[in-house]
Amino acid sequence: MTPEIRRRIHAFRNALVLAADTRSNECFRMGRWQELNAFPHGCCDLASNFLAQYLQDSDPSLKPVIIHLQTTAEFRDEFKSSIESHVITEVHGWFVDLTLNQFAEYKDRVVIDDRTGILGTLRREILG
């Protein structure tokens, strides 16, 4: 992943934080405001889809893919995970997560990694 795409991803997350924290008066009429208002909690679908659209609008050669991860009780027990359902974005073989830190066991505010990192491993463990 290029440094420019990484910069855009981080800038986009910062914009979401700004919208939720300091510009809420401009966003509260937005259709999915309740999700964004709790950012990063409970808004992985919104954040991932908005990010995918933003990246594609800024560079039409990018073809982001939305990935939904649905866990089972067995997975949560085995891996001591609080994730029940989560949405991430894949961009040219890289997994991007703007909201993983909504779960207590994860601290990074932006996760960008390949198939061998935490998101690739999580995806493999959940999807099998």
Which helix H or strand E contains 49, and what residues bound it?
A: helix 44-58
Q: Which domain holds residue 104?
A: 3-127
Buried (b) or exposed (e) across 23-36, using 16+ Cβ within 10 A? eeeeeeeeeeeebb
Number of structural domains (the chain) is: 1
pLDDT in tens, the chain (128 residues): 899 999 999 999 999 888 887 776 776 677 777 777 778 888 999 999 999 999 999 999 999 999 999 999 999 999 999 999 999 999 999 999 999 999 999 999 999 999 889 999 899 988 87
Contact status, residue 68 vs residue 85, Cβ threshold 8 Å: yes
Claim: this prediction has a pTM higher than 0.85: yes
Which of 37, 38, 36, 50 is CA-nearest to residue 89?
Answer: 50
